Amino acid sequence: MRAIIAAFVLLAAGGGHAHTPVPAPDCVAPKRPPEDVPEPVWQTFLTDVDRFRACITRYVQENHAASDAHRAAGNQATLLWNDFVRASLNVPEDYPWPPEPAFED
């Protein structure tokens, strides 16, 4: 019975913390033209290179901003926990570290 309950808990908890995959950048790399093309073709290529670089840079900055926000939220949660521990728990007397085993074999 314990095994069934444990399996159910693992299955139920698995989807709750799953992260959605981060989408790949929708930036398109330009294709390098052959060496013997006219100058306007090269200028178009270089313009496309600049556009590609700007797109990748924007993608990286947006993802860094998102990760910074997640890190800040995690740090806030840690501070909340630490404030709770300092204000509400008698540490280390009531809650020694490392904790004692919950049960013996």
Please state the φ and ψ torsions of residue 34, each to the nearest 5 degrees: -60, 165
- 30 within a domain of the structure (yes/no): no
Q: What is the pLDDT of residue 11?
A: 52
Asked if 59 contacts 25 with a C-beta cutoff of 8 angstroms, the reply is yes
Confidence of residue 3 (pLDDT cuts 50, 70, 90): low
Q: Total domain count for the chain?
A: 1
Three-state SS at 45: helix
The parent domain of residue 77 ranges over 39-87
Taking only the tens place, the pLDDT of each residue in 50-72 is 999 999 999 999 999 999 999 99
Taking only the tens place, the pLDDT of each residue in 20-37 is 888 999 999 999 999 999
- 23 within a domain of the structure (yes/no): no
Q: What is the pLDDT of residue 22?
A: 86
Using the predicted structure, report yes or no on whether residue 18 has a pLDDT greater than 70.
Answer: no
CA dihedral 39, 45, 46, 48 (to 10 degrees): 150
